[in-house]
Amino acid sequence: MDYIFIAFANSQENSLMQLENEDDIVYRHLNMGKKKFDYHIYRQSMSSIDKISQALTDHQDEISIFLFSGHAGLKHLLLDDQMARAEGIAHSLSLCPNLKLVMLNGCSTVGHVNSLLEKGIPVVIATSAPVDDNRAYMFSNIFFQMLSKGETIEASFEKAVGNAMIKSELTIHRSLALVEDQPPETPTWGIFYKEENKALLNYSLPLKQTEAMEGASLQKTIEATPNFTVPPFDKGIPRYKIDILSLSRHDQADIFEINFHKKTGNAQHYFIHANNLQLPNSFGYRLVFQLELWLKKLDKNMHYVAQNNHFVKIKNWKFSSDMGISQRRIKAYFEELFELSSIDSLIELKKEYPLIKKYDYISTIFKIHQEEWNENAAAVLKWFINDFCKTNSENSTKFLFFFIIEKHVVELPSEAQEQEINNTLQEIGKMENCTVFSELQPVKKLQILRWFGNFVDKETEINRMVQQILDNYSNEVSKGINMSHLEDQLSEIIEKETKYKVK
């Protein structure tokens, strides 16, 4: 099966604000595309020379598309603050016989093109000039959105270029100024290939063999067969705002409702802990949108920063080995949010500030990658809760902070690191206005039955659908089913059994 390898490498010295967002949105587009198309995703959010080399070796025969996004220059890529020469990367990629496309989404990467083409890479997308961070994000966003909907490489490229050249606000460049100091120019993406490979511009992702060949695009309708209704939890919540499977976390959601109404402080903190297969992002979205629904009934409104796809923007929280740098990073987020030059605490916010004046609640989802947890992590979190989140009693606006602590099953943390995180969460759970959810676990059969029971009338239909999921699951069912697999299975069933298309 084909692999799409996406690698992102930021720099601690010259951090790109949009790179984390690009990582998340590209992965989300590709993950949604897997419902209809046949491929695997290999994702490296914190890539390095060694990690890329190992992945290219492990999946040498399967990789069909490779994306690198981050700081770059004519002859180098910056991986984990280390220079990687184009020739070395080109050689490793040339050993992948199924590779069709290499995309280098950084500044002035056109210098890599000749080396890649000479090594036999069929199609290369690169930039011929410095490109600012926001446009680079927009380019990847649109390109992979189109590709994951079944568009060809060429059509996806043309759409992405058009959008990226129109929309730009930031001026942070993805350039390796320390290597090449080029004057600013209009950012330009190019698509490069030898004439014998031109046909690959029409390449699109392969459809699953079991899928009906009715076209790649999914249309959203809300017409249903007699046995189905729109799920009751979906009333008033747009479908694009909520991951379908997150709603099986009933017990956790009940804890949130109880604590939200019980807490008295102007700032509340909720901690979600899980590995990536249990989709902690989805549960975070669910809590925010459930809160939004409650507040609408109370005639109150809430602010959150939204992604282009209307999901809540998740802000990656990175811990530095320097306590002051870690604190400055989080202050910078709120300075940007409230358009202030500096801020040391939420107590400094004034009633006349637009967000404070307009909204009853302000919500933010932070994500902490467990493998990035270091010796300062616990102290930074406690500082944020105890000191930074003090608020002015004159302000009626309340703050809801959701922390997702996510571990990747392919990069499990050490036992000592795991224990340190658990100890910190135990301490935080005892603090005022803090709630720590138990670690999200695989879903059991009873939970799936309950989920289908919410909107399928006939018991025989419920049992048949649940059995279909269990039959398609290869692991030991008694241990539960991971949410990632379950989401795919439920989405397929709903699309086949109804006219409602899961988007």
Note the residue count of the chain: 503
Tokens 């879903």 sit on residue: 443
The string of pLDDT tens digits covering residues 328-382 is 999 999 998 888 888 999 999 988 898 998 999 999 999 999 888 999 999 999 9
| 328 & 388 share domain | yes
Element spanning 82, H or E: strand 82-85
Examine residue 209 and state whether it is found in any structural domain, yes or no.
no
Q: How many domains does the chain have?
A: 3
Is the pLDDT confidence value at 213 over 60? no
The C-alpha atoms of residue 192 and residue 195 are separated, in whole angstroms, by 10
Listed residue (170, 160, 58, 176) closest to 108, CA to CA: 176
Query: 370 near 405, Cβ under 8 Å?
Result: yes
| 286 & 394 share domain | yes
The string of pLDDT tens digits covering residues 238-293 is 444 444 545 567 778 888 888 998 887 899 999 999 998 888 988 898 888 888 87
| 325 & 388 share domain | yes
**Please, which contacts does 84-89 make with residues 24 or more away whose CB atoms are closer than 8 Å?**
84/49, 84/52, 86/111, 86/112, 86/115, 86/116, 87/115, 89/52
The string of pLDDT tens digits covering residues 110-121 is 567 788 888 899
More confident residue, 254 or 427: 427
The C-alpha atoms of residue 186 and residue 182 are separated, in whole angstroms, by 12
Examine residue 210 and state whether it is found in any structural domain, yes or no.
no
DSSP type of residue 274: E
| 321 & 365 share domain | yes
Least confident of 94-108, 133-147, 370-384, 447-461: 447-461
Q: Which pLDDT value is given to residue 217? A: 30
Domain boundary among 397, 419, 436: 436
| 144 & 272 share domain | no
Q: Which pLDDT value is given to residue 209? A: 65
Q: With b meaning 16 or more CB within 10 Å and e meaning fewer, what string describes 441-462?
A: ebbeeebbeebbeebbeeeeeb
Residue 141's Cβ-side half-sphere holds a number of Cα atoms within 13 Å equal to 20
Mean pLDDT of the chain: 78
pLDDT tier for residue 135 given thresholds of 50, 70 and 90: confident
Whole-angstrom CA distances from 485 to 1, 453, 482 are 17, 20, 6
| 28 & 166 share domain | yes
| Token reading at 180 | 């090449």
Examine residue 138 and state whether it is found in any structural domain, yes or no.
yes
More confident residue, 361 or 407: 361
Examine residue 213 and state whether it is found in any structural domain, yes or no.
no
| 15 & 162 share domain | yes
CB under 8 Å to 262, separation ≥6 — which residues? none
Q: Which pLDDT value is given to residue 218? A: 26
The C-alpha atoms of residue 72 and residue 109 are separated, in whole angstroms, by 6
| Token reading at 66 | 């490779």
Q: Which pLDDT value is given to residue 498? A: 54
| 488 & 418 share domain | no
The C-alpha atoms of residue 319 and residue 330 are separated, in whole angstroms, by 10
The pTM (predicted TM-score) of the whole model is 0.57
Q: Which pLDDT value is given to residue 205? A: 94
Domain boundary among 436, 465, 490: 436
The string of pLDDT tens digits covering residues 26-72 is 988 898 888 889 998 888 887 777 778 888 888 888 899 999 887 65
Q: Which pLDDT value is given to residue 2? A: 84
Summarize the confidence of residues 392-417 as an average pLDDT. 85
Q: Which pLDDT value is given to residue 87? A: 65
Least confident of 33-37, 93-97, 200-204, 453-457: 453-457
The C-alpha atoms of residue 382 and residue 68 are separated, in whole angstroms, by 35
Domain boundary among 436, 456, 472: 436
pLDDT tier for residue 430 given thresholds of 50, 70 and 90: very high
The C-alpha atoms of residue 251 and residue 431 are separated, in whole angstroms, by 22
More confident residue, 404 or 181: 404
Signed CA dihedral, 301, 306, 310, 316: sign only: negative
More confident residue, 6 or 107: 6
User: Pairing relation of β-strands 82-85 and 76-79?
Assistant: antiparallel
pLDDT tier for residue 411 given thresholds of 50, 70 and 90: low
Is the pLDDT confidence value at 211 over 60? no
Q: Which pLDDT value is given to residue 234? A: 40
Q: Which pLDDT value is given to residue 448? A: 82
Is the pLDDT confidence value at 225 over 80? no
Q: Which pLDDT value is given to residue 45? A: 80
- What domain range is 290 assigned to? 250-436
| 478 & 355 share domain | no
Residue 45's Cβ-side half-sphere holds a number of Cα atoms within 13 Å equal to 23
Is the pLDDT confidence value at 84 over 70? no
More confident residue, 188 or 78: 188
| 195 & 58 share domain | yes
CB under 8 Å to 390, separation ≥6 — which residues? 267, 345, 346, 347
Element spanning 368, H or E: strand 361-369
The string of pLDDT tens digits covering residues 433-485 is 999 999 998 888 887 887 777 666 678 888 888 888 888 887 777 788 888 88
pLDDT tier for residue 107 given thresholds of 50, 70 and 90: low
Q: Which pLDDT value is given to residue 115? A: 81
Query: 386 near 345, Cβ under 8 Å?
Result: no
**Domain CATH code at residue 301:** 3.40.50
Examine residue 51 and state whether it is found in any structural domain, yes or no.
yes
| Token reading at 444 | 């059991």
Query: 104 near 112, Cβ under 8 Å?
Result: yes
Is the pLDDT confidence value at 172 over 80? no
**Domain CATH code at residue 192:** 3.40.50.1460
Examine residue 501 and state whether it is found in any structural domain, yes or no.
yes
Examine residue 207 and state whether it is found in any structural domain, yes or no.
no
| 25 & 153 share domain | yes
DSSP type of residue 217: P
More confident residue, 115 or 425: 425
| 341 & 192 share domain | no
Query: 129 near 187, Cβ under 8 Å?
Result: yes
Summarize the confidence of residues 9-25 as an average pLDDT. 71
